[in-house]
Structure 1
């Protein structure tokens, strides 16, 4: 073994220049604060190196806040002096003796800086040479700094066979140091630090992981990549299967569409063929009807010929009788008289009707004339004499003269009423226009636009304001009306202020700088603008003295923030005194009341209401203007109502005057024709008298014969005409059947048959479909009448079309969804041929290809899983168990106060399923892990393993690292064997035992850890160091356990460096080889070697 022989400390905390000899187990005794812990920290730093991994002064209650810089500079922490040194160089070095008697030394030289920079550290190892101060000191008391030390040691003349290495990188130093200390593992530095950082052993798992079993994560990147590739191919295969399912659904929908299409084609074909058969049956009936009509026509022709002969005979007899009647004189005179009586009677009837119409019209006109006379009297108009004459002369029958004069009077009255109507319409239009304008004003006022009211009240001022804004580029708030900047708080005096200011309310205020330009513009437009006022604000402010205004002056009722407006209002209203009554006006020269009675120069007057009632000042102006306009609109509505009444009356009067001209002209025109009625009646009476005196006996006999033959002729003529009509009807019927019905039915039947056949061609029906639909039609013809076939076909036509449309839509939606999802391109075809072809390709080509890829990749993944994960993991678990078994072999011969300790393990519950699967995998021989019963037996472990291997892509994932680390598959505990044969598990007694009892396993575990690190459990002792460091050791243990602990470590073969206060020394001295007392004086620490035997004698004598 390699033994620590010396510790060299230079400028290390309170040790300025100290060398400590170590013989075997070395015991440092000292009170708290003496510096014993800093010695162990120096040893720790020399063995571990670096500033991040070491834990200085961990036994302190503060948890160890010291740093490397504070050690080198000698931190005191007092108010008077914080550090012993400023910029300083320190040395911490260890000397070891090899079994062959040679030595080697290693350690570090540290530069620490007062300005707070991180220390510079140079590490060194000197082989085959004892510790030599010449390595560190340039001159007595002066150290080399890190850079100079490196150059110095590399060129130092070492003894033969000796060599030195200097390191600036901690990693290089550790590699060489661990090798020099006996080829120790990388976990050794952590065990050194753990020994110093005493803590009760409560987490056995962490202890085993950190100090007993090395971390050796399984490399799963290749396996993950293969599983990812396998999952990728499985995903592709699943996607292909999903696509096949979608395409199969599309194919089913296409079959459904074809079935519905076949039903529709069949139904349509049957309907058209049935319609064709209907036409053929009708054609057969019409041909039979044609034959019957031709036979009837021939019969009627024979009968008509017989009637025509009889008619000729009757006509000849009638002609002979008429000739006899015409040759008789009496008969001739009677005919003449009767013809004339007939003519005159017709004329008399016409004139009588005209006379009746004339009398009615005349009576109506007389009634209207009386009504007109009343209207004229009501209108207080002069009644024309012609109108009176018409009413009176009608009684004397001087009608023609009265009608002519009345026409002229009515024409005059009509013109008068027409003029009045025109004037009335003009007034109504003006009122309507005014009402529209007022409504527009109200709308603008309600939206805050007061320009309209200014335009109406002061158009010249408004126009001048627009010109000033346009020409001078002024804003709306720079050219304002006086009324816009004034307020009248008391509404009772609003009328008085408005009335007195009058048009001064619209005086324009412009900025003083623009006044001259404004006047120039005003002068330019003087021909078109007049009456507008511009206030010279600058002059009125400069030229008007600030005179006091009577507190009763009307100007006090006006408020404004505009200075010039204030002065101007005072100038206009400051002399008017407010009076409550008219009588009080006499007490003042100028005064005014709320009723707007004003006194000026001893004269009283009343202001114009049209001025003062139209408000423009203050917030009440707009509501008042709106109210006034609404009142005016109401007045206009009343006036228009009266106008409508007068308009109605004028229309009535015009109907009785102007509209009567034409009727009077028609009455006047009708009078001459009516004068013939009386002579006509006399002439007609004379003719009737002569007709009555004629001898009519012979004439009557001749007439009777004529009537007889005429009746026979008429009867025969009627029969002939009836026969002609019947023949004509038959001929027409025959012609209609021959030229229209039969050809039409032939065309319809042929069209229906061609339509049925062309429909099949249009629908691209194949021969099988054609044959099937024709058979279906013949089957229905055999079982059902044509009417039923047609009814059923018509009834279900829409259903079949809807079903086909619905199935076509579903097919189109499915195709679109597939095309969008799988980027298959658009398809406007009705069928799914392209998709069926794609399905065949996927089923026969792509899916088998992916399945072959899956099988191949599964074999690779299985090989990787078995060889580099499962078998490797099983080997690691078995190796871990073997290491613990070796450790237990070492512990089997060691006793701790009679107790024996044993590390035990069992499968960890969290990974039990994976553990069982891994340990059982050696039973699988030749079978695929993916498909064998092995997977079924260990399905949960299998799922957990693959979930973590495939669900994360971060190789540093905690869950994945848990699977990779073989140590996580075991659960660890320490079994305590008592001398009486009882046993207990540390995990069960931790919470129940005393501090000393729970502290004991820590030292046992640490001893086991060091024993393993130094390979003491091997059959052949290893050539390694045996150091174990313990600071403030055994503080919670009683004397017996303390001595047992130290004895246990010595039996384990360890060289222990321990530090305790003096109260523990009695029980420890028998088990140590050398004793050093650490003392502190004047901020410096010293180490004094003590003879162990003398000290024991002194303790025994006490």
Structure 2
């Protein structure tokens, strides 16, 4: 064993030149300020190969430095240092190997210039030191002189040049490992404590905070990307609002256009109706004019007859009787002619009925005759046939109305799809949409963060359009597979399982992309014609298409297990098949697919509108037939027929009167001429009045006809203008016209078919819509302005600039956000990997090493019994709930798994615990504000709790943590002193005692212990393979001196210190 035998101090604080000899365990005593700690600090400086933590036992906040020791800092006013100028100091420790009889010196030469820090020069010499090494006469040699002196004495000097070499040289000389230089300052600074954890932290377990710089770097990058993503998401949310408001604005604008068109249609119909009414009025007036003219002509004829008759009668009065007979004859004739007119009306109306029926393609056989009885018989069958035709027409009209409604719904869906495509939004199966919405809502709610859920095709872009059909066709419905990040997959599956029945969602696939992560594609495969915007999706696409080889011709298909041509011919499973064109006809992958779909749907919409117009025309034609059939009034015709009298009877009456007149006319006796003349005068006057009224009526009718005709010409001119506009709209925007017609009909129904009231209602609606449009436009422009402010975009804020916002919105939605989320996720995964590798793994290793160290210490402690007690350290999980749950996982076998599997091996509860720890670690700022809190989590010692278990010889067990609460004397401190000594002995237990020397320094030791316990403690130390040096005040000498080999007294005279050996070897007092 190596023993420290001598100490040389030159210019070390108050010691100018002191040689101290000692043997075995040593006690250094002296009053406060005499220099006890100064000697111990010099020894510590050499034993640790350069530690500068001085005087820590006496004062934990000590400011002593090498310079203050070398210059001899006094702190006296007027004289700060003992030495000034250039100063050289020497410290040397001489060790003696009892077994090999070899002496070695470890020392240092310290040089301090007038304005410089201390410059140390460490060395080792394998022979005893002499004063001549350090002094020439009374002058202290500097390092160069020191080296030259030893060289002249042919003494080999071993001088390390680096701190690492120095530590290695000194520890090898002592026969100890580097752990020793850590324990020396701890023992020297040791003070009895009443807290086990504090003792563990100070004296047994190194702090060893984990280096998390790499983790911080990855977290910093993750935060940067996360912040960027947050900005983009805020931009996206604002742009989404802008897009929605603009869509609503366009919708309102369209509603206004529809209402305006409906008003124009109402106006057109109103003008058309006005023209029809005017024409009917003109026609009616013209007919009444004809009737009046005819009546006037007849009245004039009768007036002429009466006037002529009166003139004749006045010539021949006997004609009076003849005139009466003539009147009877005229009445009979009138009645006969009236009956004939009714008959003619029946025949005319019947022929008109036949013509009307023929105009609506009436299929029943109709007899076109004039026989009244035949007509009467025909009317019954016609009435039955009309009723049947009316029913059939009504059913056909209803069928067309249903078809129009279904086609209209399809048209609305198409227009909705077209609008989405114009806004760069893909259109895909409804079940997929519903599941995406539910998953996004539920996952975001569960994880308290925005979770991205998208269909597969949104992550893809086709590089070569010539392979589009092959890719689209081969993927088929897999294009709509739903992608979620791996960490959300399990919860997504649970949600899908919960809602599938209620929402009737089946057949939609959610992809476990983790299983295909990292898969590679074969050279020349279909996968290589795709650009994929997510690394997990890339692995999945390589899984789906990476083995499908692209070939130029069908003749090359069988050269590969799975292959495909551009024309979508596939070889798979030793069979060839062609993919159905309807599968890839509607593309979904990439931005180009949107334009292709938009063109397809616009063409479909155009064809659909043509079909819709044709169906409307058929329906309108059926309405014409229906209205025509409903306008037929067979009952009036039947009533007219029932009013007919017997033609024969009427004719006979007429002939009788005619014969009587002829008879009288043949009678020369005209006695009644006078009476007849009077009647003629009355009739003449009546006729004259009738003719005058007719003249007045004819004049009024002529004026009415002229005015109505003029007014109708103006209406017709306006109607022509409106109709031309209607025709242009019909050609340019059939959808708008279709909706306008529907709005017109509904408004007419609501206003009891009052056109003006319907127009007023629509105009009122348009005023409200226009006012709301202005408000919405202002709101939209405000959002546009806010977006500009938050993003510094510099876009315009007028509606004419909306495309700038929508273009940015589509790019964010379809490209940038996907890329940013992918980058952010990769950064997060890298941080999680660093979290495992740099934090969890290192923390686990530190904890395991600590447990191993404590186990080794416990083994050492088992070898020693202090009085009747044995001590052992107990380590368990921290009493802090947070640290305890972390400790349980960190020290489990799961930690041994690779970082990419670690989180997967944890239960859901354990995973949440680790995520919480990750959040805590990543939440600390880089500005140092939370550095102390961060150190708590990076210090492995905080994850454990500690106790010392004392076992008596009788088997009684006590825990020190319990005893400390009840007692505070020396009995609670004994385990700590035992442990310190055992820690040193543990160092040398694994190496050869012949070549090792373990010196332990205690300053101000055993202060709280009584003499009995001190004696017992020193007896315990004397049985250990260590050499202790204890510094105590004089009042402790009696209880310690008899148990040590050497006792040194330290004194001070002014600014000079000195030592005196008062015992060298046990009981040797000098």
The TM-score range, normalised by the shorter chain, is 0.5 to 0.7
* Mapped partners of 2:152, 2:199: distance in 1: 44
* Mapped partners of 2:745, 2:76: distance in 1: 123
CA spacing shift, 1:831–1:799, aligned 2, 3 Å: farther
CA contact (8 A) 2:49 2:170 kept: no
CA spacing shift, 1:1039–1:154, aligned 2, 3 Å: same
Correspondence 1:143 to 2:164: no
Q: Match for residue 211 of structure 1?
A: 203
* Mapped partners of 1:863, 1:799: distance in 2: 60
Deviation, structure 1 residue 1030: 2.2
Correspondence 1:990 to 2:947: no
CA contact (8 A) 2:88 2:110 kept: yes
CA contact (8 A) 1:283 1:745 kept: yes
CA contact (8 A) 1:265 1:760 kept: no
Deviation, structure 1 residue 943: 1.6
Superposition pairs of residues 459-498 of structure 1, within 5 angstroms: none
Q: Match for residue 96 of structure 1?
A: 95
Deviation, structure 1 residue 52: 4.9
Moved more, 66-75 or 994-1003: 66-75
Superposition pairs of residues 151-162 of structure 1, within 5 angstroms: 151-153=147-149, 155-159=151-155, 162=156
Deviation, structure 1 residue 214: 3.1
* Mapped partners of 1:785, 1:76: distance in 2: 116
CA contact (8 A) 1:106 1:123 kept: no
CA spacing shift, 1:953–1:980, aligned 2, 3 Å: same
Deviation, structure 1 residue 70: 7.1
CA spacing shift, 1:215–1:1024, aligned 2, 3 Å: farther
Deviation, structure 1 residue 837: 6.5
Query: In structure 2, the residue corresponding to 1:129 is in which secondary structure?
Result: coil
| 1:615-673 Cα deviation digits (max 9, x unpaired) | xxxxxxxxxxxxxxxxxxxxxxxxxxxxxxxxxxxxxxxxxxxxxxxxxxxxxxxxxxx
Deviation, structure 1 residue 741: 0.7
Deviation, structure 1 residue 884: 0.8
Correspondence 1:268 to 2:260: yes
Q: Match for residue 870 of structure 1?
A: 840
Deviation, structure 1 residue 135: 0.9
CA contact (8 A) 1:25 1:1055 kept: yes
CA contact (8 A) 1:150 1:166 kept: no
| 1:34-67 Cα deviation digits (max 9, x unpaired) | 65554334323443577952128x549x997877
* Mapped partners of 1:196, 1:982: distance in 2: 33
* Mapped partners of 1:101, 1:944: distance in 2: 58
Q: Match for residue 797 of structure 1?
A: 766
CA contact (8 A) 1:300 1:726 kept: no
CA contact (8 A) 2:20 2:1059 kept: no
Deviation, structure 1 residue 880: 0.8
Q: Match for residue 1042 of structure 1?
A: 1014
Q: Match for residue 6 of structure 1?
A: 6
Deviation, structure 1 residue 848: 4.4
Correspondence 1:125 to 2:126: no
CA contact (8 A) 2:26 2:1048 kept: yes
CA contact (8 A) 2:52 2:65 kept: no
Coordinate RMSD, CA, aligned: 4.8
CA spacing shift, 1:1060–1:873, aligned 2, 3 Å: closer
Correspondence 1:897 to 2:897: no
* Mapped partners of 2:904, 2:239: distance in 1: 30
Correspondence 1:918 to 2:924: no
Q: Match for residue 962 of structure 1?
A: 936
CA contact (8 A) 2:30 2:1050 kept: yes
* Mapped partners of 1:824, 1:1080: distance in 2: 82
Structure 1 gaps, min length 5: 308-719
Q: Match for residue 735 of structure 2?
A: 768
CA contact (8 A) 1:264 1:804 kept: no
| 1:427-464 Cα deviation digits (max 9, x unpaired) | xxxxxxxxxxxxxxxxxxxxxxxxxxxxxxxxxxxxxx
Pairs aligned (count): 672
Deviation, structure 1 residue 71: 6.0
* Mapped partners of 1:111, 1:251: distance in 2: 78
Deviation, structure 1 residue 970: 2.0
CA spacing shift, 1:882–1:79, aligned 2, 3 Å: closer
* Mapped partners of 1:882, 1:918: distance in 2: 16
Deviation, structure 1 residue 24: 1.6
CA contact (8 A) 1:1077 1:1090 kept: no
Deviation, structure 1 residue 25: 1.2
Deviation, structure 1 residue 28: 3.5
Deviation, structure 1 residue 136: 0.8
CA spacing shift, 1:961–1:11, aligned 2, 3 Å: closer
CA contact (8 A) 2:985 2:1024 kept: yes
* Mapped partners of 1:33, 1:924: distance in 2: 55
Deviation, structure 1 residue 942: 2.2
Deviation, structure 1 residue 94: 0.9
| 1:156-183 Cα deviation digits (max 9, x unpaired) | 4334xx324287x988755643454335
Query: In structure 1, the residue corresponding to 2:159 is in which secondary structure?
Result: strand
Correspondence 1:1087 to 2:1056: no
Q: Match for residue 984 of structure 2?
A: 1010
Query: In structure 1, the residue corresponding to 2:835 is in which secondary structure?
Result: helix
Q: Match for residue 854 of structure 2?
A: 884
* Mapped partners of 1:236, 1:1046: distance in 2: 66
* Mapped partners of 2:843, 2:73: distance in 1: 51
CA contact (8 A) 2:54 2:65 kept: no
Deviation, structure 1 residue 1029: 1.6
CA contact (8 A) 1:154 1:165 kept: no
Q: Match for residue 753 of structure 1?
A: 723
Deviation, structure 1 residue 6: 1.0
* Mapped partners of 1:14, 1:906: distance in 2: 48
CA spacing shift, 1:725–1:1041, aligned 2, 3 Å: same
* Mapped partners of 1:75, 1:748: distance in 2: 116
CA contact (8 A) 1:904 1:973 kept: yes
Correspondence 1:785 to 2:785: no
CA contact (8 A) 1:913 1:941 kept: no
Moved more, 173-182 or 128-137: 173-182
Q: Match for residue 580 of structure 2?
A: none
The structure with the larger Rg is 1
Deviation, structure 1 residue 891: 1.3
Q: Match for residue 286 of structure 1?
A: 278
Deviation, structure 1 residue 23: 2.0
Among candidates 708, 712, 723, match of residue 737 of structure 1:
708
| 1:252-284 Cα deviation digits (max 9, x unpaired) | 445544543443333222222222222233323
| 1:482-509 Cα deviation digits (max 9, x unpaired) | xxxxxxxxxxxxxxxxxxxxxxxxxxxx
Query: In structure 1, the residue corresponding to 2:985 is in which secondary structure?
Result: helix
CA contact (8 A) 2:147 2:157 kept: no
* Mapped partners of 1:78, 1:278: distance in 2: 118
CA spacing shift, 1:241–1:286, aligned 2, 3 Å: same
CA contact (8 A) 1:894 1:1052 kept: no
CA spacing shift, 1:928–1:828, aligned 2, 3 Å: farther
* Mapped partners of 1:981, 1:806: distance in 2: 89
CA contact (8 A) 1:914 1:942 kept: no
* Mapped partners of 2:1047, 2:226: distance in 1: 72
* Mapped partners of 2:812, 2:703: distance in 1: 74
Superposition pairs of residues 486-885 of structure 1, within 5 angstroms: 733-738=704-709, 740-756=710-726, 765=733, 767-777=734-744, 784-787=752-755, 788-807=757-776, 810=779, 813-814=782-783, 817-818=786-787, 821-822=790-791, 823=793, 825-826=795-796, 828-829=798-799, 842-853=812-823, 856-857=826-827, 859-885=829-855
Among candidates 937, 942, 950, match of residue 976 of structure 1:
950
Deviation, structure 1 residue 97: 2.5
* Mapped partners of 2:281, 2:37: distance in 1: 140
CA spacing shift, 1:230–1:728, aligned 2, 3 Å: same
CA contact (8 A) 2:1046 2:1066 kept: no
Correspondence 1:224 to 2:193: no
Query: In structure 2, the residue corresponding to 1:973 is in which secondary structure?
Result: strand
CA spacing shift, 1:37–1:771, aligned 2, 3 Å: closer
Query: In structure 2, the residue corresponding to 1:23 is in which secondary structure?
Result: coil
Among candidates 886, 901, 913, match of residue 940 of structure 1:
913
